Amino acid sequence: MSDCSQKTGKREFLLVGAVLLTAALLFLWNRFYFSAPAAVVEISIDGTVAETLDLSKNQELDIEGVNGGHNHLVILNGEAWVSEASCPDKICVHQGKISRDGEMIVCLPNRMIAKISGQ
């Protein structure tokens, strides 16, 4: 093996290591930054806050969106998720559970946003 190819392999190894280290640091920073205890879920319809729900209280809510659309929001054990929706693509249902400050579930067809907020 030539000396040049050994240097190239070492540089590639260092570059991959630097990228992985940067990704790990960004992941940890993101987890730390968004680790504030969440307190409420703000429900917005067409850009206007319609409801503010306490995350510490288990409850279910039917949310009426625009044009007769609806979403069924569940809050259980400090997590919130949309279990049913009238929209055709059901992306809001597949987004899963949210519980950290800043996380949100968006349903574009019904113009509904459920956003977790701290105190």
Domain residue ranges of the chain, discontinuous segments joined by + = 1-33, 40-117
CATH level 3 topology of 40-117 = mini-chromosome maintenance (MCM) complex, domain 2 (2.60.320)
Instruction: Quote the CA–CA distance of 53 and 38 in Å, as a whole number.
Output: 11
- Per-residue pLDDT tens for 24-51? 999 888 777 766 566 899 999 999 999 9
- Across the chain, what does the average pLDDT equal? 88
Contact 93, 85 (CB under 8 A): yes
* Distance (Å, whole) CA 4 – CA 8: 6
First to last CA, the chain: 61
Q: For 86-98, write each residue's pLDDT tens digit.
A: 999 999 999 999 9
